[in-house]
Amino acid sequence: MHELSLSSAIVNTVAKHAEGRRVTVVELRVGTLRQVIPDTLEFYFEFVARGTLCEGARLKQEVIDARLRCNGCGHEWEIEIPAFRCPECAGGDVEIASGNEFEVEAIEVEEAQCIGQR
Ligand SMILES: [Zn+2]
């Protein structure tokens, strides 16, 4: 279950940026080539987030389609099963243009509370 280690990575990254504030929303960009199952990731995120600043935070996942780009003619296309040849010019010099994303796009945190005023 690589979703578990990905969840730990998210929580660690977010905790660094939250600087002690409680996190309410975490926005993620996940490329389809990462083969992450959104429900599974959400489950593990909740689990890993317990007892951290991310506890109770909502995980928003934006799925990024896999696209290839031909370095010969610049043509870009979406793929379902990787076929590393350009359908436009039949060139084989192609690179992955998107689909490999796994990054925290943004987080939302609560405003700092004054200590002793609860
Ligand atoms: Zn091409």
CA distance 31 to 52: 26
How many domains are contained in the chain?
A: 1
Distance 102 CA to ligand 1 centre (A): 27
d(CA 10, CA 48): 9
Q: Each residue of 33-80: pLDDT tens digit?
A: 888 889 999 999 999 999 999 999 999 999 999 899 999 999 999 987
Is 118 part of any domain?
no
Whether this prediction's pTM lies above 0.85 is answered by: no
Domain assignment of residue 83, yes or no: no
Q: What is the 83 CA–ligand 1 centroid distance (Å)?
A: 13
**Residue 25 is part of a domain; what is its CATH number?**
3.30.2320.50
In a domain, 23, yes or no: yes
Residue 69 CA to ligand 1 center (angstroms) comes to 8
pLDDT digits (tens, 9 = 90+) for 81-110: 656 788 889 888 888 888 888 889 999 988
State which residues form the domain around 23.
Answer: 2-66+99-109
pLDDT at 114 > cutoff 90: no
- The residues, ordered by sequence, that sit 6+ positions from 17 with a Cβ below 8 Å of its Cβ are 104, 107
